[in-house]
Amino acid sequence: MPAFKADDLYDQLKELDVIDASALDAALEQSETSKVSLDRVLVEKDLISDENLGKIVADMVSLPFVSLSKVVIAKEILFIIPEVVAKKQQIIAFDKNEAGLKWPAPILPTPR
């Protein structure tokens, strides 16, 4: 299940003032008219890096940020969650310890 709403992301970015307000408004409008998620529009327009967006979203949902591009995932961990389940739930396990599996929060917004 997605972790946040596009409106919440918009409000957070506006409050943080990390993107020019007019560019943020234009991205929101493009997102709504094209039916593409706001986060995708922001990254594609190079208004924010994927990593910085991930950090903001992680903070919004009160979870730690994990940059999977910097993590080597052992094959035995990668295949614990079946691909069909991982795709449907939009998760990927990247580590395991005595507490269980670790996976990042999904970063796709919920529909409005």
pLDDT at 6 over 90: no
pLDDT of amino acid 107? 44
pLDDT of amino acid 29? 96
pLDDT of amino acid 1? 38
DSSP state of 33: H
pLDDT at 110 over 50: no
SS3 state of residue 109: strand
Q: What is the mean pLDDT of the chain?
A: 84
DSSP count for the chain of H helices, then E strands? 6, 4
pLDDT at 108 over 70: no
Per-residue pLDDT of 45-98, as tens digits, reads 999 999 999 899 888 888 778 787 887 888 888 888 888 988 887 777 888 888
The single residue listed with the structure tokens 């919004």 is 60
Q: Which carries the bigger pLDDT value, residue 30 or residue 72? A: 30
Q: Which carries the bigger pLDDT value, residue 110 or residue 46? A: 46
